[in-house]
Structure formats: C-alpha cells, structure tokens
Amino acid sequence: MNPLILQIAVPSPLHRRFDYLPPLDVDVTVLQPGIRLRIPFGRRTTIGVLLAVSNESAIDSRKLKRSLEVLDDSPVISSDILDMVQWASDYYHYPVGEAFTAAMPALLRRGQQPAGTETTGWQLSVAGSAIDTTTLSHAARQAQVIALLRAHPQGLPRSAIDVPASVLRTLADKGWIENCNLRHSGGDQTVLASAHTLNPDQQQAVDTIRARLDGFTPFLLAGVTGSGKTEVYLELIATTLARQQQALLLVPEIGLTPQLLARFQRRFQVPLALLHSGLSDHERFTAWQQARRGEAPIIIGTRSAIFTPMARPGLIVVDEEHDASLKQQDGFRYSARDLAVWRARRLDIPVLLGSATPSLESLLNVEQGRYTQLELPERTGVAQQPAFHLLDVRKQPLQDGLSAPLLQRIRKHLDAGNQVLLFLNRRGYAPTLMCYDCDWVAECQRCDARMTWHQHDQRLHCHHCGSQRAVDSICPACHGSELHPQGQGTERVEQALREHFPDIRQVRIDRDTTRRKGELDRLLEQARNGEGRLLLGTQMLAKGHHFPNVTLVGILDADHGLFSTDFRASERMAQLIVQVAGRAGRHERPGEVIIQTCHPDHPLLQLLVKQGYPAFARAALAERRAAQMPPMSSMALLRAEASAADTAMEFLASVAKRIQAAGVRSVEVWGPVPATMERRAGRYRAQLMLQSGQRGELQRLLSGLVRQLETAKEARRVRWSVDVDPADTY
C-alpha cells in the first residue's frame, strides 16, 4: 500500500503544491486541510498549509521529505478560505504558497497559535467616566479610547481598542481606565434602531435583500452620492446580527474613515474587528481571531480583509465596489470585490456591492442577469444633486491653476457662510521645474518621469520611486538661472488661495499633510465641523466623506484621463468627478460643481455632466463592446522588468513566440510594448497584453505559460508577473 502523502502550500515562487510525508508518529487520518505544518524546505525549515491528503504522488515516495511537526489540532484556515485562496491562486496565476502567505496574518504564518477567548479587557473607571473628552483635544487617541469605552460600558477586550499599548498605559496611570472581566454572553451586545426612517427606495432595497438572506444572491446597490447606501448596509447588518450571524464590510483604502467607524459604533455597541494597513502584526492577528471566533459580529476592512475567517458568516458588503484600490496592484493581484462574490457563492450567502459609480464590470453583470440591481436614485432628505458647470479654461488666464470665474464663485460661496472643496489630484508645489532659457526640465535619475517641486522642504521629489534631491539653482544644461516651477500641485494652490482669501481657514488633505499618524483624522474633523472653510485636496478628500456645509466643489483639472492610453482612464475620471462632486450640497443648501477643462466639448464629459453617470456608463460600455475590451472580453497582462534596457522587451517577445507556437487562436496577443513610463526606480519595464472572448481559453493558456516560464532560461534575467483583469494597463 502507498503511504499517505500530504499536499502542502509552501511559501515559494513555484506554481505548485509540494508533497511531503507525514511527520513520524502522527495519525494521518486526523489531519484536516487547513492546518499548518513545519516542513523542511531547501536548507531551511518553513511553515506550510495542508491542502489535501492523497495516496499518490508524482514523486517516488522514497524521495519525499518528511514533514517535521503538525502545528494545529484543527484547521486555522477555514474551508471556504482554503478553497478561495486555491481558486484565486489558479485564476490569478500566483504561486499557491505565496497566495496563502498574503492571505494569513503575519503572526499566523510565523507559527503563532490563535489564542482562546479573551477574558479580560478595559473599562472606564469612575473618574474616567467623568472626563470631558473635549478637554483632550491635544490627545486625540486618549479621547478616542474614552469615547469608545463610554459606548461599551461592559468593557472591551484589548484587541477591540485600536491604539498603541502606551496610550492605554497612560490612561491607566491617570486612573481613567481599569481592567475588567469580560462576559462573552453575546447578550450584552446592543444594536440601536436606525436614527432615520428609511425612505421608500431604501426600504425596498432592504426588503429585497432581506427576502434573500438564506442563499447566494449578488446585489448591486447603485445609489447616487448621499442617497443613503450606508444606511442600507447598516440596516442589513443589523438584520444579520439579529440572526446571530456575522457581516463583513470591505471598503477602499481611504474609505475607512473615522466618520464611517463612528457611525458603526453609534449603531452597533458590539466589538468591531477592524482590518486595515495601519495595524501592527499583533493588532491584525487579534482582529482576525475575534472574527474567526465569532466574537466580533462585524468585520470592517480594506482589500485583504476578504481573507478574514468568520465563525457564522451571514453577509458580505463591498462599499465603493468600483474603486481601484480593491484590486491589489502587485504580488498577488487579486480583486477583493471579485473574491467577495466568489466567497459569498461558496458560503451560500448574499453579497451586496454598492457604489454611486458602479464599475462597468458590475453593470454588465446586471445587464446579463447575474446580479440584481437595486437603485437609490435620489439623495436623502431635502438634499439635491448638485448642478454641474463645465468651465472652458482655454481662453482664461489661469493663475496658479485657478481661473477668475472660479475664484468669483469661491468668494460667493464663502461669503454666504458655506464651505468650498477644491480637488486637484496632484500633490507638491509644481510637477515640473523648467529652464526658461533652454527648456530643460528636472527629471528623476531613476525613472522616466519629472521631479515634483515641494516647497515645504525645498526639494525635488519623484512621486514614482521616492527619490529626492535639492532644487537646482542653476540649469545643468545651459547654466542659466531662469529655473521656474511649471504647473501646480496642492501646495501651490493652497498658497495662492491664502493670498486670495487671507482670513479663511484652509484644510489641505493629501499624502504630505497626513503623513503623521492621527493627522488625517484631525484634518477631516476640521473639514467636517466647519473650522476649515476652504478644503483642498487630492483623492484622499474626494471619496466617501460627508461635509454637510460644502456647497461648491471645484475640480481644478479634469483633463487628465480624457486622452490617456489606458482603456479604463475615462471610466476612472468619470467616477472620480462624480465622487468629488458628490461632496457638494449634501444638506439643505444646494450645491454646484465647477469643472475646469480645456475640452468642454469632449463627448464623454458632456454626457457625464448633462445626463449623469448611468448615461455615461452606458456609452462607455458600448465603446468597450465595439472594441471588444473588458468587460466584454477577458484581459491579462504579462509584465516584466529588468535592470538593463531591452531585456524585458526581449523576454516578452520570446513569450509572444511561445504563445504563437501554442496556436491558441481565440487569444489575441498585443505587444510587447514598453510601459508608459518605461524606466521606474532604475528598472526597465514592458508588457504583453493578452485578450480573449473566451475566458477559459485565456486561463488555460496562462496556466501552461507560467509553468513553462518557471523553468525557462530567458525568464531568469527578468522579474515577470501575470496580471489577470488588470485595473490599469500602464
């Protein structure tokens, strides 16, 4: 009889499972997929995940290595996640062992045991209960803990309090918080009723989904900005909790704002498991465990939270489902939205995708009857959709990116006591430093890109590789001294606005102003409470926020995206414009949106402004259909990069030959072409585009290809990767 063989996912760049013999003295029949084992691998030992037990191996069992140790009595990876990661590893052509690495909290990968239920936690002391948190404005995180514990009088486990240990220590030293025993009855979880009566559209959406909670149905909630989508999520999550089930909410990277959390905390006085990029390994592992044990009925997280296990899964919600940040852009290039739908199907539970600007992918799924669409066509309450104006700036002299008519409108709205939001998706002072004598421009030495001039540190920064240097004072080409900044970023606009509106408090939100921890929260609060009257920022400011008194939104430069080489550029631009515009007029006062553009007659822009996003999306989808571009076809990119020029191009040319040799006629091959920015951080990049009307054919081709490339000699000179359903093509 053959010995039993363990098939294990091992962290390694190879696209396969590895076979091992079981450890000595282990009863193989009790080993379940999803447990971890310590195994020898090369010259070291590592930790792998058991995928299956088999009684055959392609390798002679006498040559198989023996695994060393079983780390878990029962699976730490639940079966739905085990299946999902394997499926995703196949679909995205990413090595299965590394796919599991991406799907597991770091501490779990390193062998740490998930602990039992936490029995002690923190609560407010009598003194702490009396603290007025407004006196703690200088200590935002202490105030945050006090507010959180005030909402949870029965106390919270350490893992539910998302601050560094030092903050808790300080509070304990002050005598404001104290340790307590936690009761895990589930009975002390309070869910408050909605503060609003749902409007008929919201009610209908909720009722439709409520009637289908017992199985897999994908829903697309298409609701204009401010139409009350979040309220629909809250209501359905409340129902899920009442059914003793857990809900998982995925949000884009910058969607996880204090405002959203506060809303959840007000409504649900239950432990929330929060998973986002700012967590320490320990915090992440704890939140993961709370979800896995079912202690946290609600899990909220960015992209990678899709890999969070749930003891009693009931509902998955993906907010802003169109957002590009839901697709991982390097390494394991999965789409969290698509995995959410996959997982919901596997778990046989509903999945709700929500957006004011749904992706063309999801709209096509609705059109083809795979998703059920629910609509919220109106804003809640008295709020109206803002009015759009295209401002032709071809004949307007722009001063620091601002036209005179826009400045007038800003003044008018400020004089009326309202807030104004200006959007410019470019940080720094100026994107170019130029010599007026000879037209030399400052470029990055490691990228095919210009350096951005930053005023705060008087240096040139490359936004692509992070390198920086002092600002040149003399032109290196002609030795002249006429070096001047060209174009504008948020820093420059902020300065210009300060001159125009010296008495108006500004809030600028971009990556430079929010580098320090807690700073984004602080600035968003100033924007929300009206302290800041003029809000200026990049896309960090554009999405999801609710600033009730903003009545004017100015989009300083809408033209980026209209003529890009990327086929998704106009879709992204339209989504961004609608999302930014959605910050205007969310309250009683009506809003207006002014878009500065040099192409006011552009048909897609016209359509968007005159008829709105649904009309735009229909036209864009028709264009994609005509061109047979995604979502009407499947696409994959083979990307390659190398330190020498031409190597990546040569490699991809050889790949193209291999593909031609395979003779799959249903797959079209485009390229190779150098990437739009060929050199980045000193490496030369190129790509090969594969496209097919038959997803299955493309998938089979890619599977064969990655196996060949693993051992191909020419592949050793480059770093290559596959990107299935790419979010961008440059």
By the criterion CB under 5 A, which residues form the site for Zn ion?
A: 435, 437-438, 440, 444, 446-447, 462, 464-465, 475, 477-478, 480
Rank residues 143 and 449 by Cβ distance to Zn ion and give the closer one: 449
Check binding of 682 to ligand ADP (CB under 6 A): no
- CA 112 centroid distance within chain: 27
Residues of span 620-659 touching ligand ADP by CB under 6 A: none
Q: Please identify which residue in 202, 239, 425, 490 interacts with ligand ADP, judged by CB under 6 A.
A: 202
Provide the token pair at 349. Answer: 């539970």
Shortest distance (Å) from residue 585 CB to ligand ADP: 12
Partner touching 97 among ligand ADP, Zn ion, none, CB below 5 to 8 Å by kind: none
446 binds, among Zn ion, ligand ADP, none (CB under 5 to 8 A by kind): Zn ion
Q: Which residue has the tokens 């191996």?
A: 57
Q: Which tokens go with 532?
A: 């800041």
Q: Least CB distance from residue 539 to Zn ion, whole Å? A: 21
Q: Does 230 bind ligand ADP (CB under 6 A)?
A: yes
Q: State yes or no: residue 549 binds ligand ADP (CB under 6 A).
A: no
In whole angstroms, the minimum distance from the beta carbon of 582 to ligand ADP comes to: 7
- Please state, in angstroms and rounded to a whole number, the distance separating the CA atoms of residues 357 and 658: 40
* 435 contact choice in Zn ion, ligand ADP, none (CB below 5 to 8 Å, kind-dependent): Zn ion
d(CA 193, CA 195): 6
From ligand ADP, Zn ion, none, interface partner of 477 (C-beta below 5 to 8 A by class): Zn ion
Minimum CB separation from Zn ion for residue 514, in Å? Answer: 22
Judged by beta carbon, residue 197 or residue 473, the one nearer Zn ion is 473
- 587 or 679: CB nearest Zn ion: 679
The CA distance from 428 to 493, in Å, is: 10
- Strand 419-423 and strand 550-555: the pairing is parallel
Q: Which is nearer to ligand ADP, 343 or 543 (CB)?
A: 543
User: Helix (H, G, I), strand (E, B), or coil: what is residue 8?
Assistant: strand
List strands edge to edge, sheet with 459-461: 452-454, 459-461, 468-470
User: In angstroms, what is the minimal distance from the CB of 52 to ligand ADP?
Assistant: 43
Phi, psi of 167 (to 5 degrees): -65, -45
| Measured CA angle at 491 (ends 488, 493), to 5 deg | 60
- Tell whether residue 333 is a contact of ligand ADP (CB under 6 A): no
| Interaction of residue 290 with ligand ADP, rule CB under 6 A | no
Q: Minimum distance between the CB of residue 694 and Zn ion, rounded to whole angstroms?
A: 39
Identify whether 153 is preceded by a cis peptide bond (ω within 30 of 0): no
Binding test (CB under 6 A) with ligand ADP, winner from 67, 144, 159, 227: 227
* Residue 35 CB coordination number (10 Å): 19
Per-residue tokens: 400: 């620091």
Q: Closer to Zn ion at the Cβ: 230 or 452?
A: 452
One-letter identity of residue 366: V
Count of alpha carbons within 13 angstroms of residue 18, beta-carbon side:
27
In the list 229, 343, 454, 680, the residue contacting ligand ADP (rule: CB under 6 A) is 229
**Which CB, 92 or 613, lies closer to ligand ADP?**
613
Q: Which of positions 361-380 make contact with ligand ADP (CB under 6 A)?
A: 380
Q: Return d(Cα 105, Cα 94) in angstroms, integer.
A: 18
Token duo for residue 608: 């968007």
Does 225 sit near ligand ADP (CB under 6 A)?
Answer: yes
The dihedral region occupied by 526, where left means phi > 0, alpha psi between -120 and 50, and beta the remainder, is alpha
Strand ordering across the sheet containing 372-376: 272-275, 298-301, 246-250, 313-319, 351-355, 218-223, 372-376
* In the complex, least distance from residue 685 CB atom to Zn ion, rounded to whole angstroms: 13
Copy the structure tokens of residue 183: 């009761």
* Residue 381 makes contact with ligand ADP by CB under 6 A: yes
Question: Is the CB of 267 or the CB of 602 nearer to ligand ADP?
Answer: 267
> Which of residues 406 and 574 has its CB atom nearest to ligand ADP in the complex?
574
Which H or E run contains 483? strand 483-486
Choose between 222 and 617: whose C-beta lies nearer to ligand ADP: 222
Q: Which residues bind ligand ADP (CB under 6 A)?
A: 196-199, 202, 223, 225-231, 380-381, 546
